[in-house]
Structure 1
Amino acid sequence: MSLALVHPRSLVSLEPTEYYGLYVGLGFILLLAYPAFSLIRILCGRANDHLWFFRQLLLPVWLCGRRIILGYEAIMFCLFLAVNILSIVIGSANDTTELIRRLGQVAIINLVPTFLGAHMNHVANACGFHYERYARLHTWLAAVVIVEVVLHTVLAVKQTGYDGPSHHVTGILASSSIGAIAVFSVPVIRRRMFELFTYIHTLLVTAALVAIWLHLPPSSFQRGPRLYLLLSSFIFASTKVGRLLNVLYLSISFSAGGSVATVQEQGGGVEVRVRLARPLRFKAGQYIYLSLWRLSTLSIFESHPFQICWAYRDESDQQVIVLLAQPRRGFTSRLLGPAPRKYRALIEGPYGKSLSLGEYGTVLLLATGVGIAGQLPYVKELLELYQDCQAKTRRVALFWELDAEVHRYWVKDWMDELLALDKDYILDMQLYIPGRFLSRRASESTVKKLGTHGRITLTYAAMRADQLIASEIAQRKGRTLVSLCTHATTTRAVVEVVQSFGDQNIRTEILDFQP
Structure 2
Amino acid sequence: MPPALSDLYEQASQIQSVDWYGIWIAIFLGVWLTARLAHRLGRWTVQRPIAVSLGRRIGYELPWLAQTIDISTACEVILVGVLLGANIVLLLVSAHGWADVQQRAAKLAVLNLLPLGTGLTFGLPAHLLGISRSAVAWLHRWFGRVMAAHSLLHGAIAIARADNPIPSMRHDWVPLLAAAAILMILPVTLHVVVRRHCQVVMRIHYLLAVTAMVALAYHTWDQGSDSRWQVVGAGALWIVLSFVAVSHAVFVQQRWSAGRPAVSIRPFHDLLRMDITVSPHWHIRPGQYVYLWLPHAGFRSCFQLQPFYVAYWDDAPGLRILYVLTRPRASSLSTRLYLCEWLHQRRQPALLLGPYGRSIDFSLFGTIVFIVEDIGMLRVLPYIRMLVQASEERRVMVRKLKIVWQMQDFEHQCWLGDWMQDLLDRDRGEFKILEFRLYYLTKTTSVDPGDAFGERIKLCQGPLMAGEIVQGHLSKRRGKLAVGVCARQSVRQQVHDVVQPRTGPDIKFFDLDLGPGHVREAPCRNKYTATAPASSDS
TM-score greater than 0.5 by the shorter chain: yes
Aligned to 2:411: 406
Alpha-carbon distance between aligned partners in 1 of 2:318 and 2:43, rounded to the nearest angstrom? 41
Paired amino acid for 1:148:
H
Paired amino acid for 1:233:
G
1:25-104 aligned at under 5 Å gives the runs 25-38=26-39, 42-43=45-46, 47-64=50-67, 69-92=72-95, 95-104=97-106
Paired amino acid for 2:365:
Y
Is the contact made by 1:195 and 1:299 (CA closer than 8 Å) also made in structure 2? no
State the shift of 1:476 in Å: 2.1
1:325-336 aligned at under 5 Å gives the runs 325-328=326-329, 329-336=331-338
Aligned to 1:222: none
Aligned to 1:313: 315
Alpha-carbon distance between aligned partners in 1 of 2:322 and 2:141, rounded to the nearest angstrom? 31
Alpha-carbon distance between aligned partners in 1 of 2:144 and 2:291, rounded to the nearest angstrom? 23
Paired amino acid for 1:158:
A
After superposition, the Cα gap between the structure-2 partners of 1:193 and 1:500, relative to the gap in structure 1 and judged at 3 Å, is closer
Deviation per CA, 1:290-344: give whole Å up to 9, x if none.
1223433221121111111111123x53111000101115111123256634322
Is the contact made by 1:117 and 1:138 (CA closer than 8 Å) also made in structure 2? no
Match of 2:443 among 437, 440, 446: 437
1:344-423 aligned at under 5 Å gives the runs 344-422=349-427, 423=429
Is the contact made by 1:284 and 1:377 (CA closer than 8 Å) also made in structure 2? yes
SS at structure 2 position matched to 1:431: strand
Alpha-carbon distance between aligned partners in 1 of 2:90 and 2:370, rounded to the nearest angstrom? 45
Is the contact made by 1:400 and 1:432 (CA closer than 8 Å) also made in structure 2? yes
Paired amino acid for 1:355:
I
**Which deviates more, 202-211 or 74-83?**
202-211
SS at structure 2 position matched to 1:336: helix
Please say if 1:343 is aligned against 2:345: no
Aligned to 2:508: 507
Is the contact made by 1:195 and 1:301 (CA closer than 8 Å) also made in structure 2? no
Aligned to 1:497: 498
Paired amino acid for 1:137:
L
**Which deviates more, 274-283 or 407-416?**
274-283
**Which deviates more, 112-121 or 405-414?**
112-121
Match of 2:115 among 113, 116, 120: 113
**Which deviates more, 298-307 or 466-475?**
466-475
Paired amino acid for 1:280:
W
Task: Give unpaired runs (5+ residues) of structure 2.
Answer: 516-537
Alpha-carbon distance between aligned partners in 1 of 2:489 and 2:69, rounded to the nearest angstrom? 6
Alpha-carbon distance between aligned partners in 1 of 2:347 and 2:122, rounded to the nearest angstrom? 26
Paired amino acid for 2:482:
L
State the shift of 1:58 in Å: 2.1
Match of 2:270 among 268, 278, 283: 268
Paired amino acid for 2:288:
Q
Paired amino acid for 2:508:
R
TM-score normalised by structure 2 residue count: 0.83
**Which deviates more, 353-362 or 460-469?**
460-469
SS at structure 2 position matched to 1:106: helix
Match of 2:178 among 143, 150, 174: 174
After superposition, the Cα gap between the structure-2 partners of 1:501 and 1:450, relative to the gap in structure 1 and judged at 3 Å, is farther
Aligned residue-pair number = 499
After superposition, the Cα gap between the structure-2 partners of 1:192 and 1:52, relative to the gap in structure 1 and judged at 3 Å, is closer
After superposition, the Cα gap between the structure-2 partners of 1:67 and 1:460, relative to the gap in structure 1 and judged at 3 Å, is farther
SS at structure 2 position matched to 1:263: strand
Is the contact made by 2:125 and 2:136 (CA closer than 8 Å) also made in structure 1? no
After superposition, the Cα gap between the structure-2 partners of 1:40 and 1:485, relative to the gap in structure 1 and judged at 3 Å, is farther
1:212-223 aligned at under 5 Å gives the runs 212-214=219-221, 216-219=223-226
Alpha-carbon distance between aligned partners in 2 of 1:480 and 1:245, rounded to the nearest angstrom? 41
Query: CA RMSD for the aligned pairs?
Result: 3.3
**Which deviates more, 268-277 or 31-40?**
31-40
SS at structure 2 position matched to 1:363: strand
SS at structure 1 position matched to 2:408: coil
Paired amino acid for 1:172:
L
TM-score normalised by structure 1 residue count: 0.86
Alpha-carbon distance between aligned partners in 2 of 1:322 and 1:158, rounded to the nearest angstrom? 59
Alpha-carbon distance between aligned partners in 2 of 1:216 and 1:449, rounded to the nearest angstrom? 77
After superposition, the Cα gap between the structure-2 partners of 1:127 and 1:258, relative to the gap in structure 1 and judged at 3 Å, is same
Paired amino acid for 1:23:
W
Alpha-carbon distance between aligned partners in 2 of 1:448 and 1:66, rounded to the nearest angstrom? 48
